[in-house]
Chain A
Amino acid sequence: QKEVEQNSGPLSVPEGAIASLNCTYSDRGSQSFFWYRQYSGKSPELIMSIYSNGDKEDGRFTAQLNKASQYVSLLIRDSQPSDSATYLCAVNILIQGAQKLVFGQGTRLTINP
Protein backbone atom coordinates (compact mmCIF):
# COMPACT_ATOMS: atom_id res chain seq x y z
CA GLN A 1 0.00 0.00 0.00
CA LYS A 2 1.30 3.44 -0.90
CA GLU A 3 1.67 5.81 2.04
CA VAL A 4 -0.55 8.46 0.43
CA GLU A 5 -2.97 7.55 -2.33
CA GLN A 6 -5.07 9.62 -4.67
CA ASN A 7 -7.02 8.83 -7.79
CA SER A 8 -4.91 10.19 -10.63
CA GLY A 9 -7.98 11.16 -12.64
CA PRO A 10 -8.56 12.96 -14.83
CA LEU A 11 -11.63 14.22 -13.00
CA SER A 12 -13.93 16.27 -15.19
CA VAL A 13 -16.52 18.57 -13.58
CA PRO A 14 -18.89 21.11 -15.19
CA GLU A 15 -18.42 24.76 -14.32
CA GLY A 16 -20.42 25.75 -11.25
CA ALA A 17 -20.57 22.21 -9.84
CA ILE A 18 -18.80 20.81 -6.77
CA ALA A 19 -15.49 19.06 -7.37
CA SER A 20 -14.60 16.39 -4.81
CA LEU A 21 -11.00 15.19 -4.45
CA ASN A 22 -10.06 12.30 -2.18
CA CYS A 23 -6.92 11.06 -0.47
CA THR A 24 -6.17 8.13 1.84
CA TYR A 25 -3.06 7.62 3.95
CA SER A 26 -1.40 4.74 5.76
CA ASP A 27 0.01 6.19 9.01
CA ARG A 28 -2.60 6.30 11.82
CA GLY A 29 -0.32 8.71 13.71
CA SER A 30 -0.32 11.41 11.02
CA GLN A 31 -1.24 14.84 12.35
CA SER A 32 -0.77 17.29 9.47
CA PHE A 33 -2.54 17.28 6.13
CA PHE A 34 -2.12 19.62 3.19
CA TRP A 35 -3.69 20.24 -0.19
CA TYR A 36 -1.52 21.81 -2.88
CA ARG A 37 -2.60 23.01 -6.31
CA GLN A 38 -0.22 22.73 -9.24
CA TYR A 39 -0.89 24.33 -12.59
CA SER A 40 0.77 22.75 -15.61
CA GLY A 41 4.44 23.71 -15.76
CA LYS A 42 4.33 25.51 -12.39
CA SER A 43 5.30 24.69 -8.83
CA PRO A 44 2.89 23.46 -6.13
CA GLU A 45 1.16 26.13 -4.07
CA LEU A 46 -0.59 25.54 -0.75
CA ILE A 47 -4.35 26.01 -0.76
CA MET A 48 -5.43 24.32 2.50
CA SER A 49 -3.99 22.74 5.61
CA ILE A 50 -5.98 20.77 8.19
CA TYR A 51 -4.92 19.25 11.50
CA SER A 52 -8.17 18.27 13.31
CA ASN A 53 -11.04 15.96 12.46
CA GLY A 54 -13.95 17.63 10.73
CA ASP A 55 -14.31 20.35 8.13
CA LYS A 56 -12.26 23.46 7.47
CA GLU A 57 -13.59 26.05 5.08
CA ASP A 58 -11.73 28.78 3.19
CA GLY A 59 -13.76 30.56 0.56
CA ARG A 60 -14.88 28.05 -2.06
CA PHE A 61 -12.59 25.35 -0.63
CA THR A 62 -13.46 22.90 2.16
CA ALA A 63 -11.03 20.34 3.53
CA GLN A 64 -12.50 17.35 5.38
CA LEU A 65 -10.48 15.09 7.66
CA ASN A 66 -11.50 11.73 9.12
CA LYS A 67 -8.58 10.25 11.07
CA ALA A 68 -10.49 7.09 12.02
CA SER A 69 -10.93 6.26 8.34
CA GLN A 70 -7.52 7.72 7.40
CA TYR A 71 -9.18 9.85 4.78
CA VAL A 72 -8.85 13.50 3.77
CA SER A 73 -10.80 15.24 1.04
CA LEU A 74 -11.02 18.61 -0.68
CA LEU A 75 -14.27 20.05 -1.95
CA ILE A 76 -14.31 22.94 -4.42
CA ARG A 77 -17.69 24.68 -4.64
CA ASP A 78 -18.84 26.69 -7.64
CA SER A 79 -15.96 25.28 -9.71
CA GLN A 80 -14.35 27.68 -12.16
CA PRO A 81 -12.22 26.96 -15.24
CA SER A 82 -9.31 28.53 -13.33
CA ASP A 83 -9.57 25.61 -10.86
CA SER A 84 -8.35 23.25 -13.60
CA ALA A 85 -5.05 21.94 -12.24
CA THR A 86 -3.47 18.95 -10.53
CA TYR A 87 -4.25 18.73 -6.81
CA LEU A 88 -1.66 17.13 -4.56
CA CYS A 89 -2.48 15.69 -1.16
CA ALA A 90 0.41 15.70 1.35
CA VAL A 91 0.52 14.01 4.74
CA ASN A 92 3.20 13.86 7.43
CA ILE A 93 4.33 10.25 7.81
CA LEU A 94 6.78 8.87 10.36
CA ILE A 95 9.54 7.21 8.32
CA GLN A 96 12.62 5.73 9.97
CA GLY A 97 12.12 7.84 13.08
CA ALA A 98 11.66 11.16 11.31
CA GLN A 99 8.57 13.06 10.24
CA LYS A 100 8.48 13.42 6.46
CA LEU A 101 5.92 15.08 4.22
CA VAL A 102 4.74 12.47 1.72
CA PHE A 103 2.83 13.47 -1.40
CA GLY A 104 0.23 11.55 -3.30
CA GLN A 105 0.59 11.26 -7.07
CA GLY A 106 -1.97 14.02 -7.62
CA THR A 107 -5.44 14.21 -9.17
CA ARG A 108 -5.80 16.09 -12.44
CA LEU A 109 -8.99 18.18 -12.36
CA THR A 110 -10.60 19.73 -15.44
CA ILE A 111 -13.49 22.19 -15.13
CA ASN A 112 -15.56 22.30 -18.30
CA PRO A 113 -17.20 25.66 -19.20
Chain B
Amino acid sequence: NAGVTQTPKFQVLKTGQSMTLQCAQDMNHNSMYWYRQDPGMGLRLIYYSASEGTTDKGEVPNGYNVSRLNKREFSLRLESAAPSQTSVYFCASSEAVGGGIETQYFGPGTRLTVT
Protein backbone atom coordinates (compact mmCIF):
# COMPACT_ATOMS: atom_id res chain seq x y z
CA ASN B 1 0.00 0.00 0.00
CA ALA B 2 1.98 3.01 -1.29
CA GLY B 3 -0.46 5.72 -0.11
CA VAL B 4 -0.01 8.87 -2.19
CA THR B 5 2.71 8.89 -4.83
CA GLN B 6 3.99 11.82 -6.89
CA THR B 7 6.23 12.12 -9.93
CA PRO B 8 8.68 13.60 -10.57
CA LYS B 9 10.47 14.27 -7.27
CA PHE B 10 12.55 17.13 -8.72
CA GLN B 11 12.19 19.25 -11.84
CA VAL B 12 13.94 22.28 -13.30
CA LEU B 13 12.10 24.24 -15.99
CA LYS B 14 12.91 27.30 -18.03
CA THR B 15 10.43 30.17 -18.08
CA GLY B 16 7.67 29.44 -20.57
CA GLN B 17 8.06 25.65 -20.57
CA SER B 18 5.15 23.42 -19.65
CA MET B 19 4.95 20.31 -17.54
CA THR B 20 2.53 18.03 -15.74
CA LEU B 21 2.92 16.83 -12.18
CA GLN B 22 1.41 13.41 -11.59
CA CYS B 23 -0.29 12.16 -8.43
CA ALA B 24 -1.88 8.82 -7.62
CA GLN B 25 -3.41 7.32 -4.48
CA ASP B 26 -4.28 3.73 -3.69
CA MET B 27 -6.47 4.35 -0.62
CA ASN B 28 -9.74 4.57 -2.58
CA HIS B 29 -10.17 8.16 -1.41
CA ASN B 30 -12.79 10.37 -2.99
CA SER B 31 -11.08 13.74 -2.61
CA MET B 32 -7.70 14.87 -3.89
CA TYR B 33 -5.81 18.13 -3.55
CA TRP B 34 -2.84 20.05 -4.90
CA TYR B 35 -0.93 22.41 -2.60
CA ARG B 36 2.16 24.53 -2.97
CA GLN B 37 4.47 25.31 -0.07
CA ASP B 38 6.71 28.35 -0.01
CA PRO B 39 8.97 29.45 2.86
CA GLY B 40 6.97 31.22 5.57
CA MET B 41 3.68 30.73 3.70
CA GLY B 42 2.50 27.33 4.90
CA LEU B 43 0.53 25.16 2.50
CA ARG B 44 -1.71 26.93 0.02
CA LEU B 45 -4.43 25.10 -1.90
CA ILE B 46 -4.14 25.35 -5.68
CA TYR B 47 -6.98 23.10 -6.85
CA TYR B 48 -8.98 20.26 -5.41
CA SER B 49 -11.25 17.51 -6.61
CA ALA B 50 -14.02 16.58 -4.19
CA SER B 51 -14.90 13.49 -6.20
CA GLU B 52 -14.15 11.85 -9.53
CA GLY B 53 -15.28 14.12 -12.36
CA THR B 54 -15.21 17.38 -10.39
CA THR B 55 -12.52 19.99 -9.85
CA ASP B 56 -12.57 23.38 -8.11
CA LYS B 57 -10.22 26.27 -7.61
CA GLY B 58 -8.43 26.80 -4.36
CA GLU B 59 -6.63 29.83 -3.01
CA VAL B 60 -3.94 30.20 -5.71
CA PRO B 61 -5.17 28.64 -9.02
CA ASN B 62 -3.74 31.14 -11.50
CA GLY B 63 -1.24 29.61 -13.90
CA TYR B 64 -2.35 26.03 -13.22
CA ASN B 65 -4.80 23.51 -14.62
CA VAL B 66 -5.82 20.13 -13.24
CA SER B 67 -7.32 16.88 -14.47
CA ARG B 68 -8.98 14.22 -12.34
CA LEU B 69 -8.23 11.36 -14.67
CA ASN B 70 -10.03 8.73 -12.57
CA LYS B 71 -10.57 8.07 -8.89
CA ARG B 72 -6.88 7.29 -8.33
CA GLU B 73 -5.13 10.01 -10.33
CA PHE B 74 -5.08 13.80 -10.17
CA SER B 75 -2.61 15.76 -12.30
CA LEU B 76 -1.45 19.38 -12.13
CA ARG B 77 -0.33 21.17 -15.28
CA LEU B 78 1.75 24.30 -15.66
CA GLU B 79 1.10 25.59 -19.17
CA SER B 80 3.76 28.32 -19.22
CA ALA B 81 6.01 28.16 -16.18
CA ALA B 82 7.08 31.36 -14.41
CA PRO B 83 9.77 31.90 -11.75
CA SER B 84 6.96 32.68 -9.25
CA GLN B 85 5.93 29.03 -9.57
CA THR B 86 9.18 27.84 -8.04
CA SER B 87 7.92 25.91 -5.04
CA VAL B 88 7.39 22.52 -3.46
CA TYR B 89 4.17 20.92 -4.65
CA PHE B 90 2.27 18.42 -2.55
CA CYS B 91 -0.60 16.22 -3.57
CA ALA B 92 -2.96 14.96 -0.86
CA SER B 93 -6.05 12.81 -0.61
CA SER B 94 -8.87 12.30 1.87
CA GLU B 95 -11.81 9.97 2.14
CA ALA B 96 -14.62 12.53 2.41
CA VAL B 97 -16.69 13.91 -0.40
CA GLY B 98 -16.89 17.69 -0.09
CA GLY B 99 -13.32 18.06 1.13
CA GLY B 100 -11.68 19.96 3.91
CA ILE B 101 -12.85 18.33 7.12
CA GLU B 102 -11.31 14.90 7.01
CA THR B 103 -7.72 13.86 7.53
CA GLN B 104 -5.62 14.49 4.47
CA TYR B 105 -2.70 12.23 3.56
CA PHE B 106 0.19 13.75 1.69
CA GLY B 107 2.51 12.55 -1.04
CA PRO B 108 6.30 13.05 -0.85
CA GLY B 109 6.28 16.29 -2.86
CA THR B 110 7.76 17.63 -6.09
CA ARG B 111 10.48 20.27 -5.87
CA LEU B 112 10.11 22.56 -8.88
CA THR B 113 12.53 25.29 -9.88
CA VAL B 114 11.72 27.67 -12.73
CA THR B 115 14.66 29.66 -14.05
- B-contacting residues of A (Cβ < 8 Å)? 4, 8, 31-32, 34, 42-46, 49, 88, 90, 92-93, 98-106
Contact = CB atoms under 8 A, between A and B. Distances in A.
Contacts, number: 56
B112 interface: no
B98 interface: yes
A113 B40 CA distance: 26
B42 interface: yes
Most B C-beta atoms less than 10 A away, residue of A34, A43, A88: A43
Would you call the interface of chain A mostly helix, strand, loop, or mixed? strand
B2 interface: no
Would you call the interface of chain B mostly helix, strand, loop, or mixed? loop
Contacts of B105: 46
Given A43-B108, A44-B90, A98-B56, A49 B103 contact: yes
A92 B106 contact: no
Most A C-beta atoms less than 10 A away, residue of B41, B99, B100: B100
